[in-house]
Amino acid sequence: MRDRPYRQTEEGKGHNPKKSLGQNFLIDPNIARWMVDYAQIGEQDVILEIGPGKGMLTREILNSPCSFLHIIEIDRTLAPFIEPLLKRHEARTSLIWGDVLTVNLRDLSPSPTKVLANIPYNITTPLIWQILEHLAPVGTKELVLMLQLDLAERLCAKPGTRDRSPLGITIERMGQAQIVKKVPPSVFWPAPRVESVIVQILLDNNYDLASKRSWRRLLKVAFARRRKTLTNNLACVYDFFKDKDQALKLLEELGLSPTVRAEELNADDWQRLYERILSL
């Protein structure tokens, strides 16, 4: 049986969501419960939740057997909703007030094993990069995230599709990402004008890849001008190749077409290209 109407309940609490922070609060406990159940949280898991809002997901995480929960929230006006939830669980919770993009996630102790969050859509890409860079090397193995559909599709895009992205390729080299559930706008307040999904990201290898500046730079340059060939994009950056002929020769050695575009390469192609460039 569903809980009483969510929208009336949430609107009656007197907190106006801040558009500048991309706040769309999760107000359906069934979705929060689904996320926690899907993550299969165990007694050894340390959870990081980002942007708890009014605590709908927080409450369900605290009902799980997790050993510890870190929370990061930028909006201190939400304290009346979050802090009472944590008072009953002080021994296994930590609350940081601040911008997650400026928090050194490596300093979280104990280190998170899983991240669950309804991520503000305006910081999705830099935040996932930060999680991969800071937390994957210290033990984070799973992310269960509420994301905007078009961003999720870029994370999960296959080779040869226009949604292919540097972040998606990096995740593919580190593990895998998949859309596991579609979520209607009605489970948020205010209801967003975009479609949302829950994405699972599993990390099982190359844990330090996202922290390698050379890898990040290669992908950034390769995708800088999507309509150009990979050869033209790489040849214009002199710390990769001295000229276009050298770029063409290397692609030929790797069995790649001189007219290939960045979006067409698979994860293994990128790894071979990266290793070959490092050897030059």
Q: How is residue 249 written in tokens?
A: 């020769």
How does pLDDT run across 115-146, given as a tens digit for each residue? 999 988 889 999 999 999 999 999 999 999 99
Is 99 marked as binding a ligand? yes
Is residue 148 pLDDT above 70, yes or no? yes
Is 118 marked as binding a ligand? yes
Q: How is residue 203 written in tokens?
A: 């990390």
Cα(251)–Cα(273) distance, integer angstroms: 8
For 6-15, 158-167, 227-236, 262-271, which range has the lowest pLDDT when averaged over its residues? 6-15
Cα(227)–Cα(241) distance, integer angstroms: 20
pTM value?
A: 0.91
Is 30 marked as binding a ligand? no
Closest CA to 222 of 213, 211, 231: 231
Q: Which domains does the chain show, CATH number per domain?
A: 6-207 (3.40.50.150), 212-278 (1.10.8.100)
pLDDT for the residue 98: 96
How does pLDDT run across 16-43, given as a tens digit for each residue? 665 555 568 899 999 999 999 999 999 9
Q: Kindly indicate the confidence band of residue 280, based on its pLDDT and cuts at 50, 70 and 90.
A: confident
Is 98 marked as binding a ligand? no
Q: How is residue 103 written in tokens?
A: 């928090």
Is 73 marked as binding a ligand? yes
